[in-house]
Amino acid sequence: MVRVGTNRRKMAGTSLIEVLVVIVVFLVGILAIVQVFPPGLAVLRMNRAQTLATSLARAEVQRILGQSAQLPERIVAGSFDATGTVFILSQTDPSNFNPPVTNPGNLGEVDGNGQVLVSGNPIGHWTKQSGSNKINRIIGEGRPIPQPTVVNGVLGSRMQLMFAPLYYIYDGANGRSAGQVLSVYGNDLRRSLGSSDEFIPDSTAALYDTDAFTFVPEERATLTTNTPAGFDRKDQIWIGLLQDTGTSLPIFHSYRISMSFVYNDGVSDRVIEAIFTAQPDISTSYFRQFNNYAVISIPDLLSASTFNPLGYRGVEVGSLRVQRVFQEVPAATPFSAYDPYQYRPWNHALGMLLLNPVGATEKVRDLDGNAAPLIARVDYSVYDWRIMRDEFSVPNPVLVASFNPNIKLLVNSVRAGSGTGPDSKPYGGIALAGDGFMQTPDLGGTSGSQDFVLVDLETGGVVAGNSSVANSSYFVDKSNGTVQFKDTDTTDGFAITGRLYVPNGGYQGWTLSAPMELAGRRVRALYTASGDYATQVLKASASYNIVFPSAPAQLVAGQCYVGGSNGWGFANRLYFPLIDSRQKVTVGEMWVAGGTSPVIRDRDLKISGVESIGGVTVAYAEVPGGLNFDASRNNYAVRRVNGASIKVRAFYNPDTWSLGTDAGTNFDRLRKWTERYYTTTTETFDAGGNN
């Protein structure tokens, strides 16, 4: 008997149609899942980039705190004119990353070479005029002159600038740095008010104060026997001359004069904050020697720059600061045994200075009249905040138990010189084409733009390497962000044998050293990262002058204004220039009305708001508790305002843009690219810095 039901069960299966239906269902599901991956991966990449940016900012904060004794007085936006006079751009908005435009019309242009055009004139490459590099002027980075050491056969006191590389211009005709691009100067000279009619200061006296200057306003500078003839007597500065104790002759220096002054440009009065260098040349109209004094006429000083002295209306006395400028000594000239105000730019753009060693024991009188060490202060412009500054010690193979020890850099990928930049143009290295001051020697000694430079912080030299050949002491794995060191000579006793290209004091002059021990040496790695990362340092002014300008446009960096005290602003706001937006300050005293106490002491304030007044945008901090300043005490409603914050802002932009031939289109593409910057800020407390 045949069992028909059993055979039918053995013959049952899945039809082709059912298989196809299942496949379609699976494909639909798989495609839905696959579509999730690209956005998900993009989110992961962005999170990883943001984490790295935060790590870069924190690492830079730690590096800065390790050198806190050398902190600058402030960091601002600055520009230069043809004579090298520096102008502080106090109305720069820290949150605006676009390059300057031509006004009126708000016309932005970037030519095919990447140069930003203002009124048709190139003002600099877009990389230096936008993003993190819009605020790059370091003011007053300084420290007491350290004890001297011998560097490449020269005795000097070394000073390594914190944020180098720096923008450098060499004046070949005079064999020195050009203008004020790099300026080294000493302690603030003490200020006093004088009168020629009353013989203050007395130019005929045998004794005079070389650590002070006297401001003699026009109404006190009449022509008497105590006044030099031959130049404008309006608003004079009198400075005691140093004396060469070896020859008993006066020593002439240049002087750094910073001030805010009212100037009429032919249309209206405006306040200008500028820094001038007064040169000790008797042929100038503004500088005269009068017995033991250097006497400088402010209107005539302006005429030596780009200002018409007829437009000068007067200086804000509280803003007037004078420092003695360090003389730059040529490479072949020895330091003076009697003049401590001397220096050499040792490796120029890389930021090491050699100071006259006699300055290490020099004492000057400070603003309180006490003896203080001589300080070397430096003004300079950061070349590019996008250049990373990793500082570490070269590892010793024995101590790290590795034959070829590695150092992991802060970033995961180094931009190679053979690649392209964010504007889709060839990258070439950390130096722009034409910036010869940024060129350094490669392993074979040929100078050029390198994509990775290892600076020896002891000598200012460059470690010969960055190659995979046998005689290179280090090699950079740019894809993974690591530096591998190796011993190039195993027959000697050095753990890591290498060579340095050491500066010889001349401009772009390098000397190849003998083989030496690299293990344990402190170095600074300079490079840029893939993804256009940058770490920009922002710092509030060490102290703020309390001023009473008649209009918001007259408020400049390093100043603050009590709202309502001179006809503008709200009485509950302390106003600052726009560049100080988001910074913190400490206020010693605030006299208020309506509170439980008439005075608020030692209070930290955040400059958190911005306000447009008469077409000018200013920043402000509000009085705590909704109180107003005491109107009856406007001239002293606020006292002792000091900067209280240092911020490191990390930038990241993974996108690119194309630099074409049309200037307007280029600017629009650049603007859209800068709007895609990701930024993160790490802040630390400063309480006024070192000044």
Q: How far is CA 554 from CA 272, 319, 397, 617, 665, in A?
A: 7, 13, 60, 12, 35
Give the number of other Cβ atoms within 10 Å of residue 572's Cβ: 19
According to the model, what pLDDT value does residue 595 have?
A: 78
pLDDT class of 629 with cuts at 50, 70, 90: very high
According to the model, what pLDDT value does residue 280 have?
A: 80
Backbone angles phi, psi at 478, to 5 degrees: -70, -25
Residue ranges covered by each domain of the chain? 145-384, 388-531, 541-643
Q: How far is CA 426 from CA 199, 388, 678, in A?
A: 65, 20, 24
Name the 3-class secondary structure at 8. helix
Q: Evaluate if residue 5 carries a pLDDT over 60.
A: no
Whole-number Å distance between alpha carbons of 485 and 384: 27
pLDDT tens-digit readout, 360-382? 999 998 877 889 999 999 999 99
Helices then strands, counting H and E runs in the chain, come out as 7, 54
Contacts 24+ apart (CB under 8 A), 443-450: 443/467, 443/469, 443/471, 443/472, 445/501, 445/510, 445/512, 447/508, 447/510, 449/417, 450/417
pLDDT class of 408 with cuts at 50, 70, 90: very high
Taking alpha carbons only, the member of 433, 485, 479, 420 closest to residue 657 is: 420
Write out the DSSP string of 20-42: HHHHHHHHHHHHHHHTTHHHHHH
Q: Evaluate if residue 137 carries a pLDDT over 90.
A: yes
Q: Evaluate if residue 183 carries a pLDDT over 50.
A: yes
Strands in 293-297's sheet, in edge-to-edge order, are 190-193, 212-216, 236-240, 293-297, 287-290
Instruction: Give the list of residues 6+ apart from residue 1 with CB closer than 8 angstroms, or none.
Output: none
Name which of 234-248, 324-338, 383-397 the model is least confident about: 234-248
Instruction: Give the list of residues 6+ apart from residue 407 with CB closer than 8 angstroms, or none.
Output: 392, 394, 395, 482, 483, 485
DSSP state of 201: S
pLDDT tens-digit readout, 426-484? 999 999 988 999 999 999 999 999 999 999 999 999 999 999 898 899 999 999 999 99
pLDDT class of 319 with cuts at 50, 70, 90: confident
Q: Evaluate if residue 138 carries a pLDDT over 60.
A: yes
pLDDT class of 688 with cuts at 50, 70, 90: very low
**pTM of structure:** 0.87
DSSP state of 615: T
Give the number of other Cβ atoms within 10 Å of residue 467's Cβ: 15
According to the model, what pLDDT value does residue 43 have?
A: 65
Type and span of the H or E element at 400: helix 397-400
According to the model, what pLDDT value does residue 687 have?
A: 45
CB 95 within 8 Å of CB 77: no
Q: What would the mean pLDDT of 237-260 be, rounded to a whole number?
A: 87
Task: Please tell me which of 199-203, 332-336, 436-440 the model is most confident about, judged by mean pLDDT.
Answer: 436-440
* 380-410 core/surface letters (b: 16 or more CB in 10 A; e: else): bbbbbbbbbbbeeebbbbeeeeeeebbbebb
Q: Evaluate if residue 1 carries a pLDDT over 50.
A: no
Q: What would the mean pLDDT of 255-279 be, rounded to a whole number?
A: 83
According to the model, what pLDDT value does residue 4 have?
A: 47
Write out the DSSP string of 256-314: EEEEEEEEE-SS-EEEEEEEEEE---TTSSSEEEETTEEEEEHHHHHHTTT--GGGEEE
According to the model, what pLDDT value does residue 260 have?
A: 82
CB 594 within 8 Å of CB 627: yes
For residues 271 and 632, the model is more confident at 632
Classify residue 55 by burial, with Cβ atoms within 10 Å: 0-12, 13-18, 19+: middle
pLDDT tens-digit readout, 578-603? 999 999 999 999 999 987 889 999 99
DSSP strand pairing (269-278 vs 327-328): unpaired
pLDDT class of 249 with cuts at 50, 70, 90: confident
Q: What would the mean pLDDT of 392-413 be, rounded to a whole number?
A: 87
Give the number of other Cβ atoms within 10 Å of residue 486's Cβ: 19
pLDDT tens-digit readout, 500-553? 999 988 898 999 999 999 999 999 999 999 988 999 999 989 989 888 888 898
According to the model, what pLDDT value does residue 84 have?
A: 61
Percent of the chain surpassing pLDDT 70: 92
According to the model, what pLDDT value does residue 536 have?
A: 96
pLDDT tens-digit readout, 20-34? 877 877 777 777 666
pLDDT class of 41 with cuts at 50, 70, 90: low
Whole-number Å distance between alpha carbons of 496 and 504: 24
Average pLDDT, the chain: 88
DSSP bridge partners of 585: 605, 643
